C-alpha cells in the first residue's frame, strides 16, 4: 500500500493526512469514537512512509495536526476565533515534527516501536512548551472508554498514549505489507497489551479509612463566551442562592448534614478581601451553610495588575483557615505570554484581564472539620487536570478525598466540557480514587474509582446535593512509575533515532559504493 501511495500525486497523501487527523479527533469527546484514534495514527504514519522526503513528511504532519486540532479544540472560537486559529497553527507544528521523526524512524526494522516512542516524546514536549504547554489533546485521554484504559493505574496517561500510538503503528505496519509474520507479531503485541490492561484492573482502590459527607453547589451561569459567568458578582449571588436551597433541603431532612460543602472555581469573580460586596456575599454564604466550605475565588495580587485563582477553606465565624493556589494556569486564558508585545497587536487579549500568577504548592490541604476531625483534601482547579504531576501530588501528599473545582461557563454548548470530564475520568482511574467534580454550570458530578460516572448534575442551571465520599489512602503504581517510564521511553527513542540516522547513512554509502563498482566494472 505504501508503494502505491508513494506513486500517487502528493495531493492524495495530503488528503489522507487531513482526513485521518479529523478521524483521530472524532475519538475524543464529545464524539467518543475511540477506535478511530489508532486508525488516525495509522493514517498519518502511512502518509509519512509514502512521502518522498523528510520535508514532505513535515508538511503532511502539519496538515494532520490542522485537521486534528481544528475539530479537537475548535471550541476555543467561542472566546475569540483569532486565538483558536493561532493555537491550532502553533500546535500543529508539533505534529509536523512528529511526522519528520517517524520518517527517520522508518529507516530501521523496529520502526513501529520507535514511531510510538516519538508520539511519547512529542506529547511530553507540547505538554510543557511553549508557555507551560497545552497538554489537552493527548491520545490517552480519548481512550478512557476503551478496554486499554485499565493500564492507567499502572502506567498513567503517558503510558496509555504510548500504547495507543503503538496500536496505530501496528495497523500501519500491517497495511505496509500484510504477511503472516506481521499478523502474528501484531496479535502477540495486542495480547501483551490486553494482559497489561488486565493487570491494571487488579490494582486495588485506595484503602478506605473513613467516610465524609460532602455537600456540593453548582450555582449556574449565563454561559457562552468571554462573559460566560455573567456581570460582576453574578456568579457569587448565584452560588449564594443555590447554597441557600441546599441548606433548606438539609434542614427539611431531604439530605444528610454535610461535613463541608464544595463550591467551584469562580464562586467569586472578585476578591472577597478587597471588594466589600463580594466579601459580604461570601460571609452570608458561610453563615447560611453553617459548615466549612471550600470555595474558588479570584484574589488580587501578589503584584500590581496581577491575580491568583485559589481555593479557600472557609469556616463559619472564622473565615479562611487554609488555601490552595491554582498551579496550572491557561496561556491566553488566564495570562498572556509576551504580553507587552502581543497586547498592542491583538487588543482582544485585554479580555484576559490581570495576569494570573501560578501557585507553587501541591494541591493537598490539611483542614479541620466541624467535629474536630482532620482531613487532607486533594484539590485540582480546572486546568490543573492536564498536568500529570499536579494530579499525582493530590494523593502523594496525603489527599484522602479528591476534588476538582472548575469554571466552564464560557464553554457551555461546546465539546470542551465533555473533554475535560473525560480527562477527569482518566485521573480517577489513574489514582483509583473517587473524584467529586464541582463546576459553575456543568458538568458537575461524581466519578467512581474505576472511571465510571456515578452521577452528573443538569447543565447550565443551578444544582446541589450531598454525597458520601470514602476517605482513602495508598498510591497506585502510576503515581510513581509513569513519569520515569515516560522519560525512559523518550531516552530510548532518542537513541533509536540516532541509530536510525547512522543506519540510513550506512545504507546510502553501501548503495553508492555498489553503484560505483558497477559503473567501474561495466564494459565501455
pLDDT tens-digit map of 453-494: 999 998 889 999 999 999 999 999 999 999 999 999 999 999
| Domain harbouring 451, CATH code | 3.60.110.10
Say how many CA atoms lie within 13 Å of 511 toward its Cβ. 6
Same-domain check for residues 196 and 229: no
Question: Grid coordinates in use for 235?
Answer: 456568579
User: Taking every pair of C-alpha atoms in the chain, what is the biggest distance, in angstroms?
Assistant: 105
Nearest CA to 453 out of 434, 478, 472, 470 is that of 434
Mean pLDDT of the chain: 92
- Domain presence at residue 209: no
Same-domain check for residues 415 and 502: no
Dihedrals phi, psi of 438, to nearest 5 degrees? -130, 120
Q: What is the pLDDT of residue 5?
A: 84
Same-domain check for residues 350 and 316: yes
Q: What is the pLDDT of residue 510?
A: 53
C-alpha 46/C-alpha 272 separation (Å) is: 56
- Model confidence band, residue 119 (pLDDT cutoffs 50, 70, 90): very high
Say how many CA atoms lie within 13 Å of 299 toward its Cβ. 18
> Residue for cell digits 485537521?
67
**What does each C-alpha distance from 447 to 159, 451, 454 come to in angstroms?**
22, 6, 6
Element (H, E) at 283: helix 276-289
What lies within 8 Å, CB to CB, of 295 at 6+ separation is: 239, 263, 267, 268, 282, 285, 311, 312, 314
- The string of pLDDT tens digits covering residues 159-176 is 999 999 999 999 999 999
Same-domain check for residues 93 and 119: yes
Number of residues that this document lists for the chain: 524
Q: What is the pLDDT of residue 515?
A: 43
Residue 232, sorted as left (phi over 0), alpha (psi -120 to 50) or beta, turns out to be: beta
- The string of pLDDT tens digits covering residues 253-274 is 999 999 999 999 999 999 999 9
DSSP 8-state code for residue 267: S
Same-domain check for residues 146 and 123: yes
Q: What is the pLDDT of residue 2?
A: 80
SS3 441: coil
- Domain presence at residue 314: yes
- The string of pLDDT tens digits covering residues 59-78 is 999 999 999 999 999 998 88
**What does each C-alpha distance from 178 to 113, 186, 220, 274, 403 come to in angstroms?**
18, 11, 55, 69, 48
- Domain presence at residue 471: no
Q: What is the pLDDT of residue 468?
A: 98
Same-domain check for residues 218 and 106: no
- Domain presence at residue 410: yes
Query: DSSP secondary structure string, 76-120?
Result: GGGT-HHHHHHHHHHHHHHHHHHHHHHHHHTTSTTHHHHHHHHHH
C-alpha 420/C-alpha 29 separation (Å) is: 9
Q: Tell whether omega for the bond before 117 is within 30 degrees of 0, i.e. cis.
A: no
C-alpha 498/C-alpha 393 separation (Å) is: 35
- Domain presence at residue 468: no
Same-domain check for residues 387 and 324: yes
Same-domain check for residues 199 and 223: no
Element (H, E) at 276: helix 276-289
Q: What is the pLDDT of residue 513?
A: 44
Same-domain check for residues 430 and 509: no
- Domain presence at residue 430: yes
Q: Is the pLDDT of residue 442 over 90?
A: no
Beta strand 306-315 pairing with 293-300: antiparallel
Same-domain check for residues 443 and 499: no
pTM over 0.75: yes
Q: Is the pLDDT of residue 229 over 90?
A: no
Domain that holds residue 326: 214-457
- Domain presence at residue 466: no
Same-domain check for residues 281 and 394: yes
Q: What is the tally of structural domains in the chain?
A: 2
Q: Is the pLDDT of residue 506 over 60?
A: no
CA angle at residue 82 from 79 to 84, to 5 degrees?
65
Same-domain check for residues 134 and 182: yes
- Domain presence at residue 384: yes
Beta strand 445-447 pairing with 453-456: antiparallel
C-alpha 494/C-alpha 49 separation (Å) is: 19
Nearest CA to 402 out of 289, 243, 257, 294 is that of 294
Amino acid at each position: 500500500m505504501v508503494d502505491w501511495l508513494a506513486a500517487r500525486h502528493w495531493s492524495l497523501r495530503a488528503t489522507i493526512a487531513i482526513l485521518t487527523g479529523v478521524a483521530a479527533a472524532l475519538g475524543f469527546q464529545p464524539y467518543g469514537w475511540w477506535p478511530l484514534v489508532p486508525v488516525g495514527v495509522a493514517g498519518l504514519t502511512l502518509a509519512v512512509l509514502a512521502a518522498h522526503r523528510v520535508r514532505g513528511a513535515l508538511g503532511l504532519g502539519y496538515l494532520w495536526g490542522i485537521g486534528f486540532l481544528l475539530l479537537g479544540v475548535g471550541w476555543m472560537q467561542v472566546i475569540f476565533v483569532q486565538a483558536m486559529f493561532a493555537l491550532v497553527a502553533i500546535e500543529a507544528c508539533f505534529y509536523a515534527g512528529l511526522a519528520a521523526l517517524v520518517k527517520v524512524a522508518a529507516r530501521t526494522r523496529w520502526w513501529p516501536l520507535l514511531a510510538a516512542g516519538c508520539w511519547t516524546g512529542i506529547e511530553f514536549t507540547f505538554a510543557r512548551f511553549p508557555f507551560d504547554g497545552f497538554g489537552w489533546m493527548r491520545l490517552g485521554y480519548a481512550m478512557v472508554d476503551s478496554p486499554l484504559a485499565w493500564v492507567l493505574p499502572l502506567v498513567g496517561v503517558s503510558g496509555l498514549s504510548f500504547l495507543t500510538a503503538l496500536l496505530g503503528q501496528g495497523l500501519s505496519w500491517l497495511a505496509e505489507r500484510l504477511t503472516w509474520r506481521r499478523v502474528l507479531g501484531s496479535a502477540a503485541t495486542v495480547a501483551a497489551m490486553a494482559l497489561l490492561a488486565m493487570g491494571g484492573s487488579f490494582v486495588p482502590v485506595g484503602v478506605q479509612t473513613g467516610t465524609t459527607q460532602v455537600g456540593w453547589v453548582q450555582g449556574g451561569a449565563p454561559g457562552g463566551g468571554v462573559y460566560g459567568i455573567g456581570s460582576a458578582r453574578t456568579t457569587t449571588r448565584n452560588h449564594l442562592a443555590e447554597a441557600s436551597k441546599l441548606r433548606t433541603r438539609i434542614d427539611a431532612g431531604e439530605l444528610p448534614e454535610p461535613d463541608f460543602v464544595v463550591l467551584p472555581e469562580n464562586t467569586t469573580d472578585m476578591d472577597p478581601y478587597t471588594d466589600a460586596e463580594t466579601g459580604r456575599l461570601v460571609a452570608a454564604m458561610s453563615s447560611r451553610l453553617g459548615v466549612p466550605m471550600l470555595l474558588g475565588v479570584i484574589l488580587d495580587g501578589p503584584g500590581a495588575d496581577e491575580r491568583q485563582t485559589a481555593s479557600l477553606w472557609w469556616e463559619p465565624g472564622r473565615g479562611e483557615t487554609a488555601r490552595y493556589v491554582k498551579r496550572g494556569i491557561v496561556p491566553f486564558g488566564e495570562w498572556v505570554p509576551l504580553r507587552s508585545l502581543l497586547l498592542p497587536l491583538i487588543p482582544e487579549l485585554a479580555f484576559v484581564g490581570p495576569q494570573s500568577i501560578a501557585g507553587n504548592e501541591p494541591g493537598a490541604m490539611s483542614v479541620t472539620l466541624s467535629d474536630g476531625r482532620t482531613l487532607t483534601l486533594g484539590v485540582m482547579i480546572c486546568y490543573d487536570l492536564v498536568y500529570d504531576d499536579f494530579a499525582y501530588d493530590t494523593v502523594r501528599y496525603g489527599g484522602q478525598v479528591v476534588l476538582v473545582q472548575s469554571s466552564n461557563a464560557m464553554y457551555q454548548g461546546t465539546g470542551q466540557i465533555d473533554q475535560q470530564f473525560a480527562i477527569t475520568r482518566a485521573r480517577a482511574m489513574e489514582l483509583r480514587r473517587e473524584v467529586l467534580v464541582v463546576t459553575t454550570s456543568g458538568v458537575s458530578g461524581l466519578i467512581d474509582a474505576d472511571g465510571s460516572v456515578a452521577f452528573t448534575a443538569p447543565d447550565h442551571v443551578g444544582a446541589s446535593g450531598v454525597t458520601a465520599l470514602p476517605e482513602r489512602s495508598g498510591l497506585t503504581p502510576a503515581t510513581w512509575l509513569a513519569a520515569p517510564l515516560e522519560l525512559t521511553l523518550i531516552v530510548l527513542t532518542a537513541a533509536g533515532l540516532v541509530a536510525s540516522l547512522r543506519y540510513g547513512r550506512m545504507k546510502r554509502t553501501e548503495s553508492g559504493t555498489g553503484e560505483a563498482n558497477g559503473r567501474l566494472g561495466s564494459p565501455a
